[in-house]
Structure 1
Amino acid sequence: MDTHSIGILKLFLFKMVVLVLCLASTASAANLPPSTTSLEVASDIRVQCNNDEIVVSITTKSGRFNGMVYPRGLSKNSTCMGEWIHKKSPIEYTLPLRGCNTMSTDLDDGGIEYYNTIVVQPHLKLVTNQGRGFHIRCRYNTRNNTVTNDSLKVDLQGADRLTALAPMPGCSMRIFSGDPTKKEVAENVKIGDPLTLVVTLDEQDTYGIHVTDCLVRDGLGWGEQKLINDDGCPTDPEIMGMFRYSEDKTKAYVEFQAHKFPYTASVYYQCNVKLCLKADKSCDVEPTCWNSSGNRIRRQARSQTTEGEGTPATINVYSGLYVNEANDSAKTEEDSVFSEKTSDSICISQKSFAIGICIAGLILMLCVVAAILCLLAKRRKKTTSHSSGSIYSGPYTNTAYSHTS
């Protein structure tokens, strides 16, 4: 074996020693006691569903918590972020139903489900891999619509007894992507995407609707923008136009393009739905927002309702969605601390990954050594075969014994 081959084997032995030390250090690190931060990671989550909020109770392994809790995507907004300094667990974090990225979806059984994703981060300043994400859901049996009047004060003079005893119909608001007939509810869209806001009243023969006083909020309590005024006229037609109504006056819809506030992706819409009686043709009265020349008409005092007469009941309806910038990627800044496991994903711990890398390196080096040994064996065999042959092999001849006749 020549000097070059010996040097290669020495280098291989040195790498083997380094690999053994790497495996030993990895195993010893795995046996170290858990750090204080790891003991403060959330170990148990309990949810309490209230009328206007969701209360999340968080328990840690150490019995105390030093860190922050916030909805995913709102780590920079202090209005929705809670901070605790060495507090005894369990701690309680409150989420509003109509704010802080809490969204809702209507269920097939007539109920409604509110959902949000919160991040529990056991550090007051930094986002680390110790943080955990939790998907919070609260299901309610009935829609949480609010009637602004204490009772139904519709003027029922001349109405029959059946009309007077008609129950309050249910009302809902949904926002669809594009054509509402496709029933594709908008949950996560981009700025400029076509949307359709649909307000629906339960099917019955007594009441119709007029949609007024619509606005959009940021869900953080920082800003809002009025879209439809008290008369049902748009405040800015370029943002949202007038509602159009179905023939039976139980459905109203308006098409618009997705928009958002510059500092958050969540937008919440709220409208007042005023009930009207089909029997007295009050549902056929539509608002007049522009004159014949196309100019906006100033708001006028209403003459339909005189002092002392009843005013229609008003139902507040809500809906919300996420609107992202056109160049936003699918991942957010909190994806490092929250991930949803799917059937195609593979989860590997850091310890297993390090051991796997060491084993792969060991196998690779064994393959290299095997290849070197094969090359050395071939060279040795070739040298032996040359030394056993004749010194006069080849096309040359010995001219010393040649003669001519």
Structure 2
Amino acid sequence: MLRVRALLGAEGGLTKSQYPVFTIYAHKSCLGVKPCERAWCIDRVQNYRLAGYAKSHQVVNSRQECLELCLGETDFQCRSANFNNATGDCELSQMDRITVAGSSAFQPADGYDYMENNCVEEPTKLCEFKKLTGRILKTVDSVYQDIGSVEECRELCLNSPYRCHSYDYGDTGEMVCRLSHHSRATLADIQDPYLELPEGSTYELSSCYNVSIDCRSGDMVARIQTSKLFDGKIYAKGSPSTCVRDVNNSLEFELAMAYDNLECNVKKNGLGRYVNDVIIQHHDKIITSSDLGLAVTCQYDLTNKSVTNEVDLDVHGDVQPGLSEEVTVDSPNVAMKITDRTGGEFLPTAEVGDPLALRFEILDRNSPYEIFVRELVALDGVGSNEIVLIDSNGCPTDHLIMGPIYKSADTGKILLSHFDAFKFPSSEVVQFRALVTPCMPTCEPVQCDQEESTGQLRSVISFGKRRRRRSTGSINDDMFLVQTIQITDKFGFDRDMNKSASAIGSEAMFLPNDQGFCVNMAGLIVAATVFLAAQLAIIAAWTFVWQRRRLSSKLGDGMSVSLSLPTGLSSSRTDSLCKLYDNGYAHSRRF
């Protein structure tokens, strides 16, 4: 059964609401297959289908028969079905709108009914929500009052009797929590589903993971199950190139790390205890704030055993050079800086996920030129990996990593591009290289197509197109700029090396990047050792000097006692030893 909100007219028909809502319809059906115990078992969308993911195909007599085939499927987990009302074609699929979110698979199709199975079990242990600011859903499924915090609202969503995919808190009333099974991935068929609210925010479920660790006799295996198709890689943190597994659009994947494999760098921590750090990286080359870090542990007794532990973690063609001006003007002096989002002072260091900006500026504010940027590339500190951020046309290659280049609100002499700090697995140094070309009097922007998470294209403006030059001059069009920054990741792995080995099993622990102070114990020990050594050296030197002075004093006293002067010389206490030698004393006495 599907829950509904509808308005009835005078004759019993449904009418359009005058309030800022969209309507959800429900239909009660008697099914031949026992449904689940959820609030409703099927979502139906008319005139839409999920294309390209059919796992099974049959011809049936009715939509309900197609639905029952999906609910009763045993060879695979049927998440959705397409039914053609004209031909009776029934397509069963392992995917649904949530698992393929961000693609263009969910498409309008006249005469089709798309049916989504809400009885499927999906990961709910490690979930990440993205904050969408400035809007809330017009219609929701549940409303709770007197909820103490946004974290409590989040828990209500994760434990709701239906597949909750978004929530908002405190936007429609104090301590009010609203839950919905909708997200941007499921709203393609609804016109204007959001209410624009500048101070409001919707928290949308991005993805969930279930993590299990299989401790086997010769290796440890980290198994991951996701709620959304994952396209990236999983690897051991210390060996991103040698102990890695590429994942291509999969809901389940794993990484095996043998204990005798030096490339996977599994460490032995006590008797029968093995540990390692694993990174789940979404992008093929760089680490972003969406990535996850896991500390995995296997503990063995005398017999091998496999223990599963699910851990809740909160966790283009080239542009031809050209310039329009009839007089010769010196090239502008352009600087590139990495700053915060306001475009302020240069930042030499950052952490993965920090909001940053690339700032391109003509230092001479009286210059007649403006600039545009193209072929912006990020490289690691050793030059072995690189990623193109702005292509040769001046358009961003992936808006999730770096946005379009836009002019500053204050002056056309400054260009900015926002991005969240990222790094390469092989180095903490990220180097940015860009070609900057001046144009006069202004630079024309280029239209760039940007794909939304719903699969739709949105046109954005980036300053990557310029006027052609009417006459040649002495100016060198392209300027090559380089800037570097040191970026640390958020995976602050830290283990208790003296942890008791009495508990036998496996562990997977997510290590977030909490704010606070960190102490380098190895450095502290070295510093203390150097300090103590310096103190001992000073004491030894002082003791040596004191002993020499004491010995000299005793030697002087012994000489004055052992000398026996002749009678004729004893009256003069001021005679020197030279006089003693002159009187032959040195020849008659031995010291």
Q: Which has the higher contact order (CA 8 A, sep 6+)?
A: 1
Choose between structure 1 and 2: higher strand proportion.
Answer: 2
Choose between structure 1 and 2: higher helix proportion.
Answer: 1
Q: Classify the TM-score, shorter chain.
A: 0.3 to 0.5
